[in-house]
Amino acid sequence: MSVAAKMALVDLVGLAAVAQLIVFGFLVGRARGVHGVPAPATTGHPVFERYHRVHMNTVESLIPFLPALWLAAKYGSPGIAAVAGGVYLVGRVIYLIGYVRDPAKRGFGYMLTFFPVVVLIGTAAIGALRTLASG
C-alpha cells in the first residue's frame, strides 16, 4: 500500500472518530427522550446520565486523539497510526457498552482508548524529534 493510501486510511479513521462522536450524541438525545430528561438538564435518570458521560468523555478523549493521530502518521508511521486509531474506535464502543450497562465495567474500554492515544503521542513525539535532529 502506498504512503498516500495509508494517509487516506488515517484520515478515514479520524473522520470515523468524529462520526462516532456524532452517533454518541444522538444516543444521548434518544436516552433523553426515553427517560424523560428535558433539555437542558444533564442529570435525571441514571441511564441517561451514563450516555451523557460517555459522550462528554468521548469529546474529552478526541482532543488528544485527533492531533496525535495525524502527527503520528506524519512523523512516524501511517500504518501504526491507522491501527492505533482503529483500536481507539473499538475501545470507545466497548467503553460505551460497558459504561451504560454498569459504570464499574468501563475500564477495559477505557484502556483500549487510553493506550492507543499514548502510542500515538509517543510515535508523534519521537518522529518529530528525529526530524528536528536530522535538520
* Predicted local confidence at residue 38, as pLDDT: 96
DSSP collapsed to 3 states, the chain = CCHHHHHHHHHHHHHHHHHHHHHHHHHHHHHHHHCCCCCCCCCCCHHHHHHHHHHHHHHHHHHHHHHHHHHHHHHCCHHHHHHHHHHHHHHHHHHHHHHHHCHHHCHHHHHHHHHHHHHHHHHHHHHHHHHHHCC
* Predicted local confidence at residue 93, as pLDDT: 98
Q: How many domains is the chain partitioned into structurally?
A: 1
**52: domain range?**
3-133
What are the residue ranges in the chain where pLDDT is below 50? none
* Predicted local confidence at residue 1, as pLDDT: 87
Contact criterion met (CB below 8 Å) for 88 and 117: yes
* Predicted local confidence at residue 135, as pLDDT: 82
* Predicted local confidence at residue 60, as pLDDT: 98
Q: What are phi and psi of 125, to 5 degrees?
A: -65, -45
What does the alpha-carbon distance between residue 101 and residue 83 come to, in Å, rounded to a whole number? 27
Output the domain CATH number for residue 36: 1.20.120.550
* Predicted local confidence at residue 72, as pLDDT: 98
* Predicted local confidence at residue 16, as pLDDT: 98
